[in-house]
Amino acid sequence: MNALEQLRQFTTVVADTGDFNAMRAYAPRDATTNPTLIVKAVAKPEYASLLAETVSRHRGESVAELIDRLLVRFGCEILSIVPGRVSTEVDARLSFDQAGTVERAHRLIGLYEQAGIDRSRVMIKIAATWEGIRAAERLEAEGIHCNLTLIFAFAQAVACADAGVTLISPFVGRIMDWYRKRDGREFAAHDDPGVLSVRRIFEYYKHFGHATEVMGASFRNAGQILALAGCDLLTISPELLEQLRQSAAPVERQLDAEAARAQVLERVRFDEKDFRFAVNDDAMASEKLAEGIRLFAVDSAKLDDLIAAQVARA
């Protein structure tokens, strides 16, 4: 077996792309999207029609409503390819707006259900701010599954598990980027700060029996991926999926739930003030969380502009 096939023995593989052809090629169980991936996809001739058709069918609706329809259109197409779930992201500009996040999530789920998609196949993707976690807690209580993204701090992961969210996405590569810049050196997989962060979260969750799934994300190389074999899920770009498919390197389980349960770990909890201090006290986490929200917000604005331009042409 190639490395990708071996990895699938231990971990659920998720496609980190908006490219339908890539999904068909690598046959992931689930797929994740975000405004960045959608902007890249609609720039390709084979997907531009989805944008035009969405605007044409729903003339007179606001740009925000059209964006949600486009995101759901992509999600429905993805769900016709993958057997599992799709993550659809709430606008990052709502990252500090609990009520606005809940409202947008309700609208997205409503559109999916209008399209005949059961809510069990959809995860609402939300930035793991305090407000985002509280919104997700409410949504989960309503049977709406959530994927909490931009996880950089351990406090974020603990708060998400205590809120009962379905899944979290720790950003392996972006964590490593910060430490590489600070320390001026490269990291091997065994001491990669992003890998170690996911390992710590995974072991904490399994030790204390949290049902929240851990999905490593934002990989820079195949070594990071293989160092997390055994993680619940890993979301991987098409480029790295291809590298794994072309590799014959042996893959062994690196994360083990049974071993985690046997460890001696201290349970921790974070109220709002403790959470905010813990994230602020972690320079990497506070900087990368703020940067991640800004970058996603920029791409949300690009999507606004694409929709507005299409409306003007229609």
Predicted local distance difference test score (pLDDT) of residue 36 = 83
Predicted local distance difference test score (pLDDT) of residue 38 = 85
Res. 250: pLDDT tops 80: yes
pLDDT digits (tens, 9 = 90+) for 72-102: 999 999 999 999 999 999 999 999 999 999 9
Question: Would you say 202 and 11 are in contact if contact means Cβ atoms under 8 Å apart?
Answer: no
Mean pLDDT calculated for residue range 140-169: 98
Q: How far is CA 237 from CA 191, 221, 303, in A?
A: 22, 10, 21
Task: Spell out the alpha helix ranges (H) of the chain.
Answer: 3-7, 20-26, 35-42, 45-57, 63-79, 98-114, 130-141, 154-162, 172-183, 193-208, 222-226, 238-246, 257-261, 272-281, 283-313
Band of pLDDT at residue 47, cut at 50, 70 and 90: confident
Q: How far is CA 239 from CA 34, 194, 236, in A?
A: 17, 19, 8
Res. 314: pLDDT tops 80: no
pLDDT digits (tens, 9 = 90+) for 222-245: 999 999 999 999 999 999 999 999
pLDDT digits (tens, 9 = 90+) for 164-202: 999 999 999 999 999 999 999 999 999 999 999 999 999
Predicted local distance difference test score (pLDDT) of residue 120 = 97
What is the spatial distance between Cα 308 and Cα 61, in angstroms, rounded to a whole number?
A: 11
Question: Would you say 144 and 90 are in contact if contact means Cβ atoms under 8 Å apart?
Answer: no
Task: Indicate the average pLDDT of the chain.
Answer: 95
Find all residues with CB under 8 Å of 126, minimum gap 6, and list them.
89, 90, 95, 101, 105, 132, 133, 135, 136, 146, 147, 148, 149
- Of 27, 46, 108, nearest to 75 by C-alpha is 108
Res. 34: pLDDT tops 90: no
pLDDT digits (tens, 9 = 90+) for 272-313: 999 999 999 999 999 999 999 999 999 999 999 999 999 998
Predicted local distance difference test score (pLDDT) of residue 279 = 98
pTM, entire model: 0.95
Q: What is the CATH number of domain 3-313?
A: 3.20.20.70
What is the DSSP secondary structure assignment for residue 217, as one 8-state letter?
B
What is the spatial distance between Cα 121 and Cα 82, in angstroms, rounded to a whole number?
A: 10
- Enter the tokens of residue 48: 């531009």
* Strand bridging mode 86-89 / 30-32: parallel
Predicted local distance difference test score (pLDDT) of residue 45 = 86
Find all residues with CB under 8 Å of 280, minimum gap 6, and list them.
286
Question: Three-state SS for 253?
Answer: coil
What is the spatial distance between Cα 251 and Cα 173, in angstroms, rounded to a whole number?
A: 20
- Of 127, 179, 135, 123, nearest to 156 by C-alpha is 127
Find all residues with CB under 8 Å of 123, minimum gap 6, and list them.
85, 86, 87, 88, 145, 146, 147, 166, 167
Find all residues with CB under 8 Å of 313, minimum gap 6, and list them.
none
What is the spatial distance between Cα 144 and Cα 234, in angstroms, rounded to a whole number?
A: 21
Residues with catalytic roles? 125
Percent of the chain at pLDDT above 70?
A: 100
Domain ranges of the chain: 3-313
Res. 19: pLDDT tops 90: no
